[in-house]
Amino acid sequence: MSSTFGTLFRVTTFGESHGRAIGCIIDGCPARIPLTETDIQPQLDRRRPGSWALTTPRKESDTVTILSGTDRGLTLGTPIGLTIPNADTKPLDYSAMEAVPRPSHADFTYAEKYGLRARSGGGRASARETAARVAAGAVAEKMIRTFHPVEIVAWVESIGANVAPRPDLATITRADVDKIPVRCPDAATANKMIAAIAEAKQAGDSVGGVIACAVRGVPAGWGEPVFEKLTAELAHAMMSIPATRGFEIGEGFGATLMRGSQHNDPFTAKDGGGIRPATNHCGGIQGGISNGEIIFFRVAFKPVSTISLPQPTAAFDGTPIVFEAQGRHDPSVLPRAVPVVEAMTALVLADAFLQQQVQLIPRPGATP
Amino acid sequence: MSSTFGTLFRVTTFGESHGRAIGCIIDGCPARIPLTETDIQPQLDRRRPGSWALTTPRKESDTVTILSGTDRGLTLGTPIGLTIPNADTKPLDYSAMEAVPRPSHADFTYAEKYGLRARSGGGRASARETAARVAAGAVAEKMIRTFHPVEIVAWVESIGANVAPRPDLATITRADVDKIPVRCPDAATANKMIAAIAEAKQAGDSVGGVIACAVRGVPAGWGEPVFEKLTAELAHAMMSIPATRGFEIGEGFGATLMRGSQHNDPFTAKDGGGIRPATNHCGGIQGGISNGEIIFFRVAFKPVSTISLPQPTAAFDGTPIVFEAQGRHDPSVLPRAVPVVEAMTALVLADAFLQQQVQLIPRPGATP
Amino acid sequence: MSSTFGTLFRVTTFGESHGRAIGCIIDGCPARIPLTETDIQPQLDRRRPGSWALTTPRKESDTVTILSGTDRGLTLGTPIGLTIPNADTKPLDYSAMEAVPRPSHADFTYAEKYGLRARSGGGRASARETAARVAAGAVAEKMIRTFHPVEIVAWVESIGANVAPRPDLATITRADVDKIPVRCPDAATANKMIAAIAEAKQAGDSVGGVIACAVRGVPAGWGEPVFEKLTAELAHAMMSIPATRGFEIGEGFGATLMRGSQHNDPFTAKDGGGIRPATNHCGGIQGGISNGEIIFFRVAFKPVSTISLPQPTAAFDGTPIVFEAQGRHDPSVLPRAVPVVEAMTALVLADAFLQQQVQLIPRPGATP
Amino acid sequence: MSSTFGTLFRVTTFGESHGRAIGCIIDGCPARIPLTETDIQPQLDRRRPGSWALTTPRKESDTVTILSGTDRGLTLGTPIGLTIPNADTKPLDYSAMEAVPRPSHADFTYAEKYGLRARSGGGRASARETAARVAAGAVAEKMIRTFHPVEIVAWVESIGANVAPRPDLATITRADVDKIPVRCPDAATANKMIAAIAEAKQAGDSVGGVIACAVRGVPAGWGEPVFEKLTAELAHAMMSIPATRGFEIGEGFGATLMRGSQHNDPFTAKDGGGIRPATNHCGGIQGGISNGEIIFFRVAFKPVSTISLPQPTAAFDGTPIVFEAQGRHDPSVLPRAVPVVEAMTALVLADAFLQQQVQLIPRPGATP
Mean pLDDT for chain C? 91
D262 touches chain A (CB under 8 A): no
> Chain D window 54-83: which residues touch B at a Cβ cutoff of 8 Å?
65-69, 71-72, 74, 76-81, 83
- Residue A274 falls within a domain, yes or no? yes
Alpha carbon of C41 to those of C44, C134, C233: distances in Å? 5, 9, 26
Q: Work out the pLDDT band at A55, boundaries 50, 70, 90.
A: low
Distance CA D19, CA D120 (A): 7
pLDDT of residue A90: 55
Q: Do B226 and A210 touch (CB under 8 A)?
A: no
Task: Give me the phi and psi of D249, to 5 degrees please.
Answer: -125, 145
Residue C19 carries which DSSP code? S
Domain range for B195 is 4-358
Q: Is C315 exposed, middle or buried (0-12, 13-18, 19+ CB in 10 A)?
A: middle
pLDDT of residue B27: 96
Determine the distance in angstroms separating the CA of B122 from the nearest CA of chain D, rounded to an integer: 11
In this predicted structure, the answer to whether residue B36 has a pLDDT above a threshold of 60 is yes
Distance CA D115, CA D135 (A): 31
Q: Do C361 and B30 touch (CB under 8 A)?
A: yes
Give the nearest partner residue to D359 out of A30, A225, A366, using CB atoms: A30
The predicted complex's ipTM stands at 0.95
Q: Is B176 helix (H, G, I), strand (E, B) or coil?
A: helix
In this predicted structure, the answer to whether residue C4 has a pLDDT above a threshold of 50 is yes
Distance CA B47, CA A187 (A): 49
Q: Which residue has the higher pLDDT, C55 or A353?
A: A353
Interval C105-119 mean pLDDT = 87
Distance CA B342, CA B174 (A): 10
pTM over 0.90: yes
The CB-side HSE value for D142 (13 A sphere, CA atoms) comes to 25
Residue C207 carries which DSSP code? B
- Residue of B81, D194, B341, B287 whose CA lies nearest to A125: B287
Task: Give me the phi and psi of B7, to 5 degrees please.
Answer: -105, -45
pLDDT in tens, C243-288: 999 999 999 999 999 999 999 999 999 988 999 999 999 999 999 9
The CB-side HSE value for C319 (13 A sphere, CA atoms) comes to 7
Non-local (6+) Cβ contacts of B195 within 8 A are none
Other chains touching C, judged by 3 or more CB pairs under 8 Å: A, B, D
Contact between A35 and A145 under an 8 Å Cβ cutoff? The reply is no
- Residue D368 falls within a domain, yes or no? no
Q: Which residue has the higher pLDDT, B94 or D264?
A: D264
pLDDT in tens, B41-90: 999 999 986 555 555 555 557 999 999 999 889 999 999 999 999 876 55
pLDDT of residue B120: 45
Handedness of CA C218, C222, C226, C229 (dihedral sign): negative
Q: Do D14 and B78 touch (CB under 8 A)?
A: yes
Contact between D77 and D9 under an 8 Å Cβ cutoff? The reply is no
Instruction: Tell me which chain D residues have a C-beta less than 8 angstroms from the C-beta of B133.
Output: none
Interval B313-327 mean pLDDT = 90
- Residue of B268, C227, B210 whose CA lies nearest to D6: C227
pLDDT of residue D119: 57
Q: Work out the pLDDT band at D197, boundaries 50, 70, 90.
A: very high
In this predicted structure, the answer to whether residue A83 has a pLDDT above a threshold of 70 is yes
Alpha carbon of A277 to those of A153, A225, B101, B106: distances in Å? 22, 20, 10, 12
pLDDT of residue B59: 56
Give the nearest partner residue to C67 out of A14, A27, A80, using CB atoms: A14
Contact between C239 and D239 under an 8 Å Cβ cutoff? The reply is no
- Residue of A30, A35, A27 whose CA lies nearest to A3: A27
pLDDT of residue C366: 44
Alpha carbon of A344 to those of A141, A235, A289, D275: distances in Å? 10, 10, 18, 43
pLDDT of residue C328: 67
Task: Give me the phi and psi of A159, to 5 degrees please.
Answer: -125, 115
Q: Which residue has the higher pLDDT, D128 or B300?
A: B300
Contact between C69 and C81 under an 8 Å Cβ cutoff? The reply is yes
Q: Do C147 and B364 touch (CB under 8 A)?
A: yes
In this predicted structure, the answer to whether residue A118 has a pLDDT above a threshold of 90 is no
Worst-scoring range by mean pLDDT, A164-168, B358-362, D165-169, D291-295?
B358-362
In this predicted structure, the answer to whether residue B351 has a pLDDT above a threshold of 90 is yes
For chain A, the first-to-last Cα distance in angstroms comes to 39
Determine the distance in angstroms separating the CA of B173 from the nearest CA of chain D, rounded to an integer: 34
pLDDT of residue A122: 46
Q: Which residue has the higher pLDDT, B333 or A87?
A: B333
- Residue B366 falls within a domain, yes or no? no
Which of B256, B263, B358 is best to mutate for the A interface (most A CBs within 10 A)?
Answer: B256
Contact between A157 and A48 under an 8 Å Cβ cutoff? The reply is no
Kindly report the length of chain D.
Answer: 368
Q: Which residue has the higher pLDDT, A295 or B19?
A: A295
Residue C34 carries which DSSP code? B
Non-local (6+) Cβ contacts of B16 within 8 A are B22, B118, B120, B121, B122, B123, B124, B126, B128, B129, D68, D69, D76, D78
- Residue C48 falls within a domain, yes or no? yes
Instruction: Tell me which chain D residues have a C-beta less than 8 angstroms from the C-beta of C106.
Output: 225, 286-289
Handedness of CA C64, C21, A77, A353 (dihedral sign): positive
pLDDT of residue C367: 43
Instruction: Assess whether the previous peptide bond of B341 is cis (omega < 30° from 0).
Output: no
Q: What is the CA angle D29-D33-D38, rounded to 5?
A: 105
Determine the distance in angstroms separating the CA of B244 from the nearest CA of chain A, rounded to an integer: 8
Instruction: Tell me which chain B residues have a C-beta less than 8 angstroms from the C-beta of A5.
Output: 227
- Residue C364 falls within a domain, yes or no? no
Q: Residue B235 corresponds to which amino acid?
A: A
Instruction: Tell me which chain A residues have a C-beta less than 8 angstroms from the C-beta of C81.
Output: 14-15, 19, 21, 23
Worst-scoring range by mean pLDDT, A101-110, C326-335, D67-76?
C326-335
Kindly report the length of chain C.
Answer: 368
Q: Do C367 and B78 touch (CB under 8 A)?
A: no
How many structural domains does chain D have?
1
- Residue of B303, B285, B302 whose CA lies nearest to B294: B285
pLDDT in tens, D327-348: 767 899 999 999 999 999 999 9
- Residue of A256, A219, C346, C278 whose CA lies nearest to D364: A219
Q: Work out the pLDDT band at D87, boundaries 50, 70, 90.
A: confident
Determine the distance in angstroms separating the CA of B121 from the nearest CA of chain D, rounded to an integer: 11
pLDDT of residue C88: 61
pLDDT of residue D365: 61
Which of D23-27, D51-55, D324-328: highest mean pLDDT? D23-27
> What is the helix (H) or strand (E) element at residue B350, kind and residue range?
helix B334-356
Instruction: Tell me which chain C residues have a C-beta less than 8 angstroms from the C-beta of B142.
Output: 368
Alpha carbon of C192 to those of C53, C156, C298: distances in Å? 16, 12, 20
Residue C271 carries which DSSP code? T
Q: Do C358 and B28 touch (CB under 8 A)?
A: yes
In this predicted structure, the answer to whether residue D243 has a pLDDT above a threshold of 50 is yes
Give the nearest partner residue to C364 out of B147, B361, B363, using CB atoms: B147
- Residue of D258, D211, D250 whose CA lies nearest to D231: D250
Distance CA D365, CA C66 (A): 43
In this predicted structure, the answer to whether residue D79 has a pLDDT above a threshold of 90 is yes
In this predicted structure, the answer to whether residue C90 has a pLDDT above a threshold of 80 is no
Give the nearest partner residue to C358 out of B142, B145, B354, using CB atoms: B354
pLDDT of residue C18: 73
Give the nearest partner residue to A246 out of B115, B247, B313, using CB atoms: B247
* Dihedral in degrees, nearest 10, Cα atoms D119, D121, D127, D133: -40
pLDDT of residue A98: 78
Task: Give me the phi and psi of A311, to 5 degrees please.
Answer: -125, 115
> Chain C window 175-204: which residues touch D at a Cβ cutoff of 8 Å?
200
In this predicted structure, the answer to whether residue D121 has a pLDDT above a threshold of 50 is no
Distance CA C17, CA C15 (A): 7
Distance CA A41, CA A45 (A): 6
Determine the distance in angstroms separating the CA of B226 from the nearest CA of chain D, rounded to an integer: 21
- Residue D46 falls within a domain, yes or no? yes
The CB-side HSE value for C54 (13 A sphere, CA atoms) comes to 23
pLDDT of residue C368: 42
pLDDT in tens, B143-161: 999 999 999 999 999 999 9
Instruction: Tell me which chain C residues have a C-beta less than 8 angstroms from the C-beta of D311.
Output: 261, 264, 266
- Residue of A35, A30, A31, A25 whose CA lies nearest to A142: A35
D244 touches chain B (CB under 8 A): no
Instruction: Tell me which chain C residues have a C-beta less than 8 angstroms from the C-beta of B76.
Output: none
Alpha carbon of D70 to those of A277, B108, B129, B288, D6: distances in Å? 28, 18, 15, 40, 21
CATH classification of the domain holding A253: 3.60.150.10
Q: Are strands D295-301 and D209-216 parallel, antiparallel or unpaired?
A: antiparallel
pLDDT in tens, A196-230: 999 999 999 999 999 999 999 999 999 999 999 99
Worst-scoring range by mean pLDDT, A46-50, B242-246, D240-244?
A46-50
- DSSP characters for D87-110? ----GGGGGGGTTSPPTTSSHHHH
Which of B7, B24, B25, B35 is best to mutate for the D interface (most D CBs within 10 A)?
Answer: B25
Q: Do C125 and D225 touch (CB under 8 A)?
A: yes
pLDDT of residue A112: 92
> Chain D window 287-346: which residues touch C at a Cβ cutoff of 8 Å?
287-292, 300-307, 309, 311-316, 318-320, 323
- DSSP characters for A52-75? STTS---------EE-SSEETTEE
B298: β partners: B212, B248
- Residue C368 falls within a domain, yes or no? no
Distance CA B241, CA B255 (A): 25
Q: Which residue has the higher pLDDT, C224 or C124?
A: C224
Give the nearest partner residue to C30 out of B77, B358, B367, using CB atoms: B358
Instruction: Tell me which chain B residues have a C-beta less than 8 angstroms from the C-beta of D4.
Output: 1, 4, 10, 12, 27
Q: Do C68 and A119 touch (CB under 8 A)?
A: no
Interval B285-311 mean pLDDT = 96
Distance CA A235, CA A249 (A): 9
Q: Work out the pLDDT band at B20, boundaries 50, 70, 90.
A: confident
Q: Do A14 and C72 touch (CB under 8 A)?
A: no
A272 touches chain B (CB under 8 A): no
Which of B9, B66, B76, B146 is best to mutate for the D interface (most D CBs within 10 A)?
Answer: B76
Worst-scoring range by mean pLDDT, A4-13, B264-273, C90-99, D237-246?
C90-99
How many A-B residue pairs are in contact by the CB < 8 A criterion? 388
pLDDT of residue C25: 96
pLDDT of residue C56: 55
In this predicted structure, the answer to whether residue C185 has a pLDDT above a threshold of 90 is yes
- Residue D367 falls within a domain, yes or no? no
Alpha carbon of A111 to those of A59, A127, A316, B218, C199: distances in Å? 29, 18, 10, 16, 60
D4 touches chain A (CB under 8 A): no
pLDDT of residue B325: 83
pLDDT of residue D90: 55
Distance CA D303, CA C275 (A): 23
Q: Work out the pLDDT band at B122, boundaries 50, 70, 90.
A: very low
D1 touches chain A (CB under 8 A): no
Instruction: Tell me which chain A residues have a C-beta less than 8 angstroms from the C-beta of D225.
Output: 78
Determine the distance in angstroms separating the CA of D325 from the nearest CA of chain A, rounded to an integer: 44
Report the residue of chain D nearest B31, measured CA to CA. D114
Give the nearest partner residue to D368 out of A31, A145, A354, using CB atoms: A145
In this predicted structure, the answer to whether residue C155 has a pLDDT above a threshold of 60 is yes
Q: Is C350 helix (H, G, I), strand (E, B) or coil?
A: helix
Interval C23-44 mean pLDDT = 96
